[in-house]
Amino acid sequence: MGFCIAGVSGHDYSSANLKGISEVVATLLMVMVTVVLVFFVNTMFTDLAQNAGSSTDRALQENQKLNQKIVIPTAYCCGSYICFEIKALGTNEFDLPTEGTGYYLNDVPKKVYPWGSTAMGPNCVDNPVLAKGQSCFGKLEGPCTGDNILKIMLPWGIQNFRVISPGTGN
């Protein structure tokens, strides 16, 4: 005895006449689908973990760059200029780039000039990198009247300042 499905008549849909794929083929298909899914998930999570690790490394290195320090041990009026020394701390982890350094006198950008003699050490103008513990020397045009504030800002955002009084000598 047959029955009608969705208005289709004349077909025998009894369980005795239904044919499907064999159990072996069905098992193989399920195994293949599972293997493909495992491969896909493994690849996705491996890439995700690698990208997260490299992102964390970059962020850590950028943070370490901001922890580098400079000092201005010497800054004084020398004629119509302000002569200064910049020193990278010996505890820094990186050499500091000096190309693109901003020099400011009372928050006004100034051009840096060579100190003149290299007997004291390298000029900041000619020295593209400040190694750990290394100093460079330079001078800025500026009035030496009243208290001046010398601010030096390296490209990584590292900065320091020093108050200069006229005739202090250092």
Task: Give per-residue pLDDT as tens, 49-63.
Answer: 777 667 777 777 776
34 pLDDT more than 60: yes
Distance CA 120, CA 82 (A): 16
Q: What's the first-to-final CA gap in the chain, in angstroms?
A: 112
Tokens standing for residue 48? 């995700």
Please, what is the Cα angle at 128 between 122 and 134, to 5 degrees? 45
> Which DSSP helix (H) or strand (E) runs through 29?
helix 23-66
CA-nearest of 117, 114, 106 to 142 is 106
Tokens standing for residue 55? 């992102």
Please, what is the Cα angle at 163 between 82 and 153, to 5 degrees? 75
30 pLDDT more than 50: yes
% of the chain at pLDDT higher than 70:
78
Which pLDDT does position 94 carry in this prediction? 84
What is the number of other CB atoms lying within 10 angstroms of the CB of residue 97?
15
pLDDT bucket at 74, cuts 50 / 70 / 90: confident
Per-residue pLDDT, averaged over 143-160, amounts to: 84
pLDDT bucket at 147, cuts 50 / 70 / 90: confident
Position of tokens 């505890």? 91
Report CA Rg, the chain.
37
> Which DSSP helix (H) or strand (E) runs through 150?
strand 148-153
3 state DSSP class of 126 = coil
Sheet holding 112-114, edge to edge: 70-78, 81-88, 135-141, 112-114
Type of residue numbered 133: G
